Structures are given as structure tokens and as C-alpha cells.
């Protein structure tokens, strides 16, 4: 990274609470971020607020101060709810603040599955102990627990908890269908759920609980972000995927994923070079130099065609990667547990 990329900070936070006038909160939030020269993304809804913003250390600490004194969030949001990492305003292309139906897009009406019905929150220490116990039982093949990663496949691919079940899904809005299609898997199980900062677990655990098949549902409070602050060398291996221009932040030196083309250990994402594709690709520097810069052969071909074609023609965003992956994978009896044997 360029010198100076560590100067500022990126904050990640959310707050579930009743918002009577989301439009008003949205306008206030936008003005606040502009005033502090913060970039990033903030989602506002009647169920609360979810944001990730970047700027100077002075700006981010002022932002936290103002957020904590906002009457709407008083006594709900606290200093610990803000996860921070090295970065700054340059980590986002711009500032986007908007009103949405949900503060995390699960695609289910918050009135039907509410954040109020969430699982039991575990602190990083409690979660660490649970995972430790789970891993020691799993090696004897007698675990009644599932360690569930609620994130998307491209997130868990570059970093995850040992022995986790990581659904091969592309979007969080497929998570409910994933649960529905694999209900038998969760029957009478204790489920330990985790995600990046905790927000997807709030609704995800509520959805899982609404199915009434699990024995218990637990979730990691503050997500992987908070866990890594306390256990940088714990049971989470690899990088932590983040939704900004950094793509990942690192707490240990482990690389657990490989280059798409040559298989060398590699975990730094790039966008597929084919213009209309939004897939992320793991391609190492030497493969990049050979011109292997797309997510799959179809896109690589497409890119060559596009360069030789008159502009103005749009191609449908579909390729081998999107076609090959079932929207909702069905787990067969033994779930896809990631490297339990470590």
C-alpha cells in the first residue's frame, strides 16, 4: 500500500433501534459525514442504521462522539460498537447515505423476522472458548455443534474460523433460502454463528430461530472484527474481507486461499478485468503478468472481444463462475466444514 494509507481510520458499526423518521436521520447523517469529510456507505431504515466510513483520526473520533450523543442512539449505541481499522477516506470512492427497508439486505421484511428475536450474544472470549470446545469434540467426531459462517463464499474463501461450515452463497439475501433448503442439517444442533461485524448474525440468527429446529443459536458479538482485536492469532485464520477498496485486512500472516490460475498461495482480490463482470478474482502477480486477469475463461474471452468491438454494446453479466454456482447449495449429510484437521 502507498505510504500514508495508515494515517486515518475506517469505522464499521450498526445500531438496531426504532427510527420514526428515516429520511430526517438520513439527511442529518449525510450532512455530518460531509462536514467531517468522511467517505463510505451508510444505510438508514426504520429498524436502525448501519455504516462504514473512512477519514482522518480526528474526524472519526468526532464522528463517534456525535453518534453517541445523538438522542436516537442514546443508551443503545456505545463506544465498543465501533470497530476500527487502519485506512481513511481513500478507502471508498465516495459517500453514499440512503434510506432502505433493511439495514442489512437479507430480503425479508423486518416486521416478519425482527432483530429483536436474535440469538444469544457471546463475547469474543466466550466465543473463543466455545470454538475451542467444538474443535476438540469435532476431532473425535461427536459434535452437536455447527460453527456457521454467515458471510458470502468469497469472504470465507480468504479467511474463516477453523472447522466452520461456510455456505457457498454469493449474497446474504440467499441465506434464508440456504437455511430453508438445509433445515435437516440444523436439527437439534447448537449453532455458533459469526460474520464480519455482527450485523448479519442479528437478522440471520433471528431467521434461524424462527424455524424452531435448533437447540440453541449463539452469535459472536462484534463479529470477527472484535474477535481479532482480542485473539489476533486465535481460531480465525487468514484475512478478514471488508467491503471497501482495501478488500481485506490482516491479523495473522496465514494465507489460506490460492491463485485461481496456478494454485500458488494467494489472497489478494482484484476485480475481474472483463468490463461487465463484478466478480472478484484471486490471481497472483506472475499470472497477472501473463495476462490472466479475469475470473474465468469466458470472461477472459469476452474481454478480448470487447476490446476489438465497437463500444456501446452491452454484454450480459454472466460467465462460467455465475452459471456454475447453484444459487442455494444443498449440503449433503456431512457439511462443508473448512479445514477441521488443522
By C-alpha distance, which of 332, 273, 340 is closest to 135? 340
Cα 265 to Cα 111, 248, 262, 283, distances in angstroms: 44, 15, 9, 10
C-beta separation of 209 from 186 below 8 A: no
Q: Which of 15, 26, 195, 321 is catalytic?
A: 195
Q: For residues 58 and 266, what is the distance between their CA atoms, to the nearest angstrom? A: 35
Helix (H, G, I), strand (E, B) or coil at 29: helix
**262 catalytically annotated:** no
Distance of alpha carbon 205 from alpha carbon 106, whole angstroms = 12
**Can you tell me which residue has the cell 473463543?**
128
Distance CA 251, CA 104 (A): 25
Q: Is the dihedral of CA 216, 221, 223, 228 positive or negative?
A: negative
**For residue 132, how many other CB atoms are within 10 A of its CB?**
12
Q: Which residues are catalytic?
A: 195
Amino acid at each position: 500500500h502507498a505510504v500514508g494509507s495508515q494515517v486515518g481510520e475506517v469505522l464499521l458499526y450498526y445500531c438496531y433501534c426504532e427510527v420514526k423518521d428515516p429520511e430526517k436521520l438520513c439527511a442529518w447523517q449525510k450532512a455530518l459525514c460531509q462536514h467531517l469529510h468522511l467517505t463510505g456507505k451508510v444505510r438508514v431504515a426504520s429498524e436502525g442504521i448501519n455504516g462504514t466510513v473512512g477519514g482522518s483520526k480526528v474526524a472519526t473520533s468526532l464522528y463517534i462522539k456525535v453518534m453517541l450523543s445523538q438522542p436516537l442512539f442514546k443508551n443503545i449505541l456505545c463506544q465498543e460498537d465501533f470497530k476500527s481499522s487502519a485506512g481513511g477516506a481513500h478507502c471508498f470512492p465516495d459517500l453514499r447515505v440512503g434510506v432502505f427497508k433493511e439495514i442489512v439486505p437479507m430480503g425479508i421484511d423486518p416486521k416478519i423476522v425482527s432483530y429483536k428475536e436474535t440469538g444469544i450474544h457471546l463475547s469474543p472470549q466466550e466465543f473463543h472458548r466455545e470454538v475451542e470446545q467444538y474443535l476438540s469434540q469435532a476431532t473425535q467426531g461427536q459434535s452437536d455443534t455447527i460453527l456457521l459462517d454467515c458471510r458470502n463464499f468469497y469472504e470465507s474463501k480468504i479467511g474463516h474460523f477453523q472447522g466452520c461450515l461456510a455456505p457457498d452463497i454469493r449474497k446474504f439475501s440467499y441465506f434464508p433460502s440456504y437455511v430453508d433448503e438445509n433445515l435437516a442439517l440444523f436439527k437439534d444442533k447448537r449453532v455458533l454463528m459469526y460474520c464480519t461485524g455482527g450485523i448479519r448474525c442479528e437478522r440471520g440468527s433471528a431467521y434461524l430461530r424462527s424455524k424452531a429446529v435448533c437447540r440453541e443459536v449463539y452469535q459472536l458479538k462484534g463479529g470477527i472484527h472484535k474477535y481479532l482485536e482480542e485473539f489476533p492469532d486465535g481460531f480465525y485464520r487468514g484475512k478478514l474481507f471488508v467491503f471497501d477498496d482495501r478488500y481485506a485486512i490482516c491479523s495473522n500472516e496465514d494465507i489460506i486461499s490460492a491463485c485461481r490460475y496456478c494454485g500458488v498461495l494467494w489472497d489478494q482480490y482484484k476485480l475481474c478485468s472483463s468490463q461487465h463482470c463484478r466478480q472478484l478474482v484471486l490471481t497472483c502477480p506472475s499470472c497477472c503478468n501473463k495476462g490472466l486477469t479475469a475470473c474465468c475463461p469466458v470472461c477472459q474471452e469476452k474481454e478480448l472481444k470487447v476490446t476489438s468491438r465497437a463500444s456501446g454494446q452491452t454484454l450480459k453479466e454472466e460467465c462460467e463462475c455465475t452459471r456454475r454456482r447453484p444459487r442455494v447449495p444443498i449440503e449433503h449429510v456431512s457439511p462443508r466444514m473448512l479445514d477441521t484437521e488443522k
